[in-house]
Structure 1
Amino acid sequence: MTARSALPPLAVVAAAVLLAGCTSTAPAGPGQGPELVRPGALLTCTHLPYAPFQVTRDGKVVGFDVDLVDLVAKDLGVTQQIINTPFEGIETGQDFAIRTCDLAAAGMTITPARAKVMDFSDPYFNATQALLVKRGTPVKKIEDLRGKKLGYQKATTGALYAKAHGKGVELVEFEDVGLLLTAVRSGQVDAGINDNGVLFDYVKHNQDTRIAAEFDTGEHYGFGVRKGNDALRERINKVIARAKKDGSYDRIHRKWFG
């Protein structure tokens, strides 16, 4: 789901574009709406788990992002279908190039690097980085971790922050946020860095952990679409703006964040 950032190798993207020629898109409805990969469906790429944005509960993927994209699907007259895929494929634009999905909803920060390989909706969530530790640990800032281990999730803005500010800190990379959180709680690492929304949700359910610090990175989440897919991007923006005006956004926010 972070502030999840890196630019893809050109070879990967080139190969993805070649594969894209083997697929086609279909309109959302008869003669109207944005073109979609599969008729009657809005295919959403995400990377699980990333609670409370996307997480599997009772065999179903639910979350803040899921509910917002459901509003978009309803507006298009189709059904959202979620595809769990490695985050690297999302943030490099590969999943769009090979038509795996119509949009990406993955708690994803809008960055200049990512904007080169996909187009973003208007921002829908403000985020920042935070530091998770076990309760009782005296850590209050990243400098307190010198000589200790700091975990981060691969290909995220948290990873960039850790590498830029973790002087003298041993950095440990994890493939997904679930592994990172488990590593903090088990003591495999002394702290973990990730998006504040995810970490506060984790602390709420795991009270033997706490947030030691937040870092104001001024990040904004956006939904990603294939480059040039202006019709879908504009429809997403329209739905988000309407949800903020009619109270739907606030209702969904309270549902997942309290």
Structure 2
Amino acid sequence: MPRTAPVRRRMSTLAFAVAGLVLAAGCSSTGGAKGATADGVPLVAAGRLKTCTHLPYPPFQFERGGKVVGFDVDLLDLVAKRLGVRQEIVDTPFENIKTGAFLNSGQCDVAAAGMTITAERRKNIDFSVPYFDATQAVVTRKDSGITSLADVKAKKRKLGAQAQTTGEDYADRGGFDPVSFDTSDALLNGLRTGQVAAVIVDYPVARGWLKDPANSGPFHQVDNLHTGEQYGIGVKKGNNKLLAAIDKAITDARADGTYRSLYEKWIGPLPSSGSPGRSIASGEPAPAGSASERS
């Protein structure tokens, strides 16, 4: 359930305790060799590719009809098929993903959560080749009078962001002191209930919101921010065989048209210029000089 009030960079005592337990478990982990595939790719459990994610984060991963689906899910299914195993989803707080805690403790083989590749995260996990070029969107109420991210600051209105994301980092660097929410659902609810006047979120997430008439009625996108971010699939540091299998699956999918099909299924037309940023209203690629950015 979405939180009824935003929480700014705060993990509960229980969350810290759980993180401590899984890190402790990681100290005795064997690296998952017991679940190795026929060609020697190490997995934490036989016959399964365990994927850590943080739900919900549509269109990358979310629940529909009691099943987790999305762009990342379909992409990792390609990897699982290549390895001759099935994918199993593990839902966990994003902190456990970006720090590598659940990879190190043997809870998961891979981390796929619409996760931006950053130098800081590279210290904790190894990343695949980039599989998605990301931008940030700014969404607000149509009656807010806000026309851009800069306008949020100029009018001294509150900006919301999802905690522990690059969107929050971007807002921090811009001097916004954003109100943080635990999930994308909670972020949208914060906008809906007036806790914030605008939110900064990954463009595909904003696009997914605005496809729903319940959201496109009161809300609209006013900015699209090009940050140069790219998403990657994370693995435990040093798990080179699994990383190579993921890279091969992504590269082959781009070459044979499978990637385009998945992109169009979950997000929309694949931009020829490489950037997914598009105007919600027109469906056209966002201008290269657009003053907008992502999470």
- Alpha carbons 1:28, 1:77 under 8 Å: kept: no
Figure out how many residues of one structure are paired with residues of the other and give that number. Answer: 245
Provide Cα deviations, 1:33-57, integer angstroms capped at 9, x if missing partner. 3100000000000000000000000
Per-residue deviation, residues 122-162 of structure 1 (Å, max 9, x unmatched): 00000011111112332122221232110111111001111
- C-alpha displacement at 1:15, in angstroms? 7.2
Amino acid at match of 1:190: A
Aligned CA distance change for structure 1 residues 172 and 14 (closer, same or farther; 3 Å): closer
Task: State the Cα distance separating 1:97 from its structure 2 match.
Answer: 1.3
**Partner in structure 1 of residue 172 of structure 2:** 163
Matched residue, 2:255 = 245
TM-score calculated relative to the size of structure 2: 0.79
- The partner residue of 1:21 within 10, 16, 27 is 27
Which residue identity is paired with 2:140?
A: V
TM-superposed CA distance for 1:18, in Å, is: 4.0
Name whichever structure is richer in strand by fraction. Answer: 1
Q: Which amino acid aligns with 1:256?
A: W
**1:143 and 2:150 correspond:** yes
Which residue of structure 2 aligns with residue 9 of structure 1?
none
1:1-258 map, 5 Å? 17-24=23-30, 25=32, 26-30=34-38, 32-146=39-153, 147-165=156-174, 167=175, 169=176, 171-205=178-212, 206-207=215-216, 208-258=218-268
**Offset of residue 234 of structure 1:** 0.7
Range with greater deviation from structure 2 (90-99 or 111-120) = 90-99
* More moved, 242-251 vs 21-30: 21-30
Quote the Cα distance in structure 1 between the aligned partners of 2:177 and 2:220.
21
**For the Cα contact (< 8 Å) 2:19–2:96, is it kept in 1?**
no
Q: Encode CA deviations 1:57-83: one digit per residue, 9 max, x unaligned.
A: 000000000000000000000000000
- Indicate if the aligned counterparts of 1:49 and 1:176 stay in contact, CA closer than 8 A: yes
| Identity score, percent | 46
Q: Is the 8 A contact 1:13 1:97 kept in 2?
A: no
Q: Secondary structure at the match of 1:194?
A: strand
Q: Work out the CA distance in 2 between the residues paired with 1:126 and 1:48.
A: 21
- Partners of 1:150 and 1:212 lie apart in 2 by 13
- The secondary structure found in structure 1 opposite 2:178 is strand
The Cα shift of 1:13 comes to 8.7
Which amino acid in 2 is paired with 1:23? S
Q: In 2, Cα distance between the equivalents of 1:107 and 1:150? A: 21
Q: Partners in 2 of 1:56 and 1:128 — Cα distance?
A: 23
Shift of 1:27: 4.0
Matched residue type, 1:108:
M
CA deviations on 1:198-255 (whole Å, 9 max, x unpaired) are: 1111111121211110111000000000000010011100011111111111111111
Please, which runs of 5 or more residues in structure 2 have no aligned partner? 1-8, 10-17, 269-295
> Contact conserved, 1:41 with 1:81, CA < 8 A, in 2?
yes
Structure-1-length-normalised TM-score? 0.90
Task: Give the Cα–Cα distance (whole angstroms) in 2 for the partners of residues 190 and 14 of structure 1.
Answer: 37
| Unaligned stretches of 5+ residues in structure 1 | 1-5, 7-11
For 1:19 and 1:134, how far apart are their aligned partners in 2?
46
Describe the shift of the 1:170–1:234 C-alpha distance in structure 2 as closer, same or farther (beyond 3 A): closer
Runs ≥4 residues deviating over 6 A: 12-15
Question: C-alpha distance in 2, partners of 1:214/1:96?
Answer: 33
- State how far apart, in whole Å, the 2-side matches of 1:185 and 1:74 are: 40
